[in-house]
Amino acid sequence: MISKELIKGTLRSIILRLLLQHERMYGYEITREVSELTGGKINLTFAALYPVLHKLEADGYVVTETENVSNRIRKYYALTTDGKKESARKVEEFHEFLKTMEHLFKPVGR
């Protein structure tokens, strides 16, 4: 299991990346996809997910659409044009972060 602190710092990037890969997703679908893609190492809670989705919507990166599915209202999230740009930027930023962390955590020579 990966610590909540590490997940919290990357949650926005994870959500943006998933929404870029899929036309639209609903909350439970996002949590399930993250769990499947990580082999259960990351299990998002709704308490962690929805504040980030709401912030992305407030920032203009995500739009919502509701749909009635089996007499239940389901809210779908999709990226705006700016959201797609932000997703690409966050992916690039994350790759740079990984390179930096690899450099910092190189084994120390003896």
Cβ neighbours of 18 (radius 10 Å): 18
In the chain, what are the domains? 4-104 (1.10.10.10)
Considering the entire predicted model, what is its pTM?
0.87
Burial classification of residue 96, based on how many CB atoms lie within 10 Å of its CB (0-12 exposed, 13-18 middle, 19 or more buried):
exposed
CA 61 to chain centre: 12
What does the alpha-carbon distance between residue 101 and residue 31 come to, in Å, rounded to a whole number?
26
Q: What do you get for the CA distance between the two ends of the chain, in Å?
A: 31
What does the alpha-carbon distance between residue 59 and residue 39 come to, in Å, rounded to a whole number?
31
CA 83 to chain centre: 12
Q: pLDDT truncated to tens, each residue of the chain (110 aa)? A: 788 888 888 999 999 999 999 999 999 999 999 999 999 999 999 999 999 999 999 999 999 999 998 999 999 999 999 999 999 999 999 999 999 999 999 887 65
